[in-house]
Amino acid sequence: MGDLRILGRVTSINMRKVLWTADLIGTEYVTELWGLPHRDPHEPEYLALNPNALVPVIIDDGFVLWESNAIMRYLADTRRSGLWPVGAKERALVDQWLTWQVAELNAQWGYAVQALMRRNPAFTDEGRIAESIRKWTAAMQILENQLIKGGGYVANHRMSIADLAVALSAHRWFSTPFEHPDFPAIRDHYEKLKATPEGQKYMSAETP
């Protein structure tokens, strides 16, 4: 493969999904620092790549792609990685959980993370914090049940890019201070991935 550029900042959970995928499949890349408080993705140069003004973006030999989970799929596919199965049904299950991570799980934690982790003064409504935690916990219960059924993996009883996305999500869960219910399968999955070199790199205390 040719020249792969990954644009974003490592403090972004979505950037880390992409970096972790690229590291695991062993593809070479260069990173370019974008995203606040570094380079503002609203700059015209960046907006021309991603009109959403969000990180990450990749440029792969001139091919531009945004949306972190789409990038994970693309990298694991083009580099023929076992992290993205070939069979239609196995692949669809990995895709299902990747889509669930961004559409159902990620959608719940926003208010609680802003209030409790980032201490953002615009997020102090106790009712909304409780609501966010309640919905986030309900989604995590679904993940817990799936990891028990899946023998410690998200799909197909083996490691895939969906495991990276949910491990980073679990990192956010454990890094947000509130009283967490016990989810042993999520804890085991998180600890297993955190023990890998990439897990240590991308799920540190500096990158919640």
Ligand X SMILES: N[C@@H](CCC(=O)N[C@@H](CS)C(=O)NCC(=O)O)C(=O)O
What residues make contact with ligand X under the rule CB under 6 A? Answer: 12-14, 35-36, 41, 54-55, 67-69, 102
Closer residue to ligand X in complex, CB, 56/199: 56
Smallest distance from the beta carbon of 102 to ligand X, in angstroms? 6
Smallest distance from the beta carbon of 36 to ligand X, in angstroms? 4
Residue closest to ligand X when measured from CB atoms: 35
Smallest distance from the beta carbon of 126 to ligand X, in angstroms? 25
How would you class 44 by CB atoms within 10 Å of its CB: exposed for 0-12, middle for 13-18, buried for 19 or more? exposed
- CA neighbor of 22 nearest in space, from 81, 64, 106, 66: 81
Closer residue to ligand X in complex, CB, 54/133: 54
Closer residue to ligand X in complex, CB, 72/150: 72
Residue carrying the six token digits 């980032």: 118
- Per DSSP, which regions of the chain are E strands? 4-8, 30-33, 57-60, 63-66
Paired tokens of 7: 């644009």
Return d(Cα 71, Cα 90) in angstroms, integer: 19
Smallest distance from the beta carbon of 44 to ligand X, in angstroms? 15
Closer residue to ligand X in complex, CB, 57/183: 57
